[in-house]
Amino acid sequence: MRAKFVYRCNECKHENYIGDRNKTKNPDKMEVQKYCSNCNAKTLHKEKSK
């Protein structure tokens, strides 16, 4: 079972990336460093469930 979610910039709250995740294999929410075009920098992006 896969769930779609968005990665949201922790700084500006823009939703920059879409991904999916196997909830059975990876039950934890993802937190990754990604480039945010709004912040113009690498920031922490957190998963937000749709």
Judged by the rule CB under 5 A, the positions of this chain that interact with Zn ion are 9, 11-12, 36, 38-39
Query: Nearer to Zn ion by C-beta: 2 or 13?
Result: 13
Min separation Cβ 27 and Zn ion, Å? 26
In angstroms, what is the minimal distance from the CB of 6 to Zn ion?
13
> By C-beta, is 5 or 36 nearer to Zn ion?
36
Task: Decide if 35 contacts 46 (C-beta within 8 A).
Answer: no
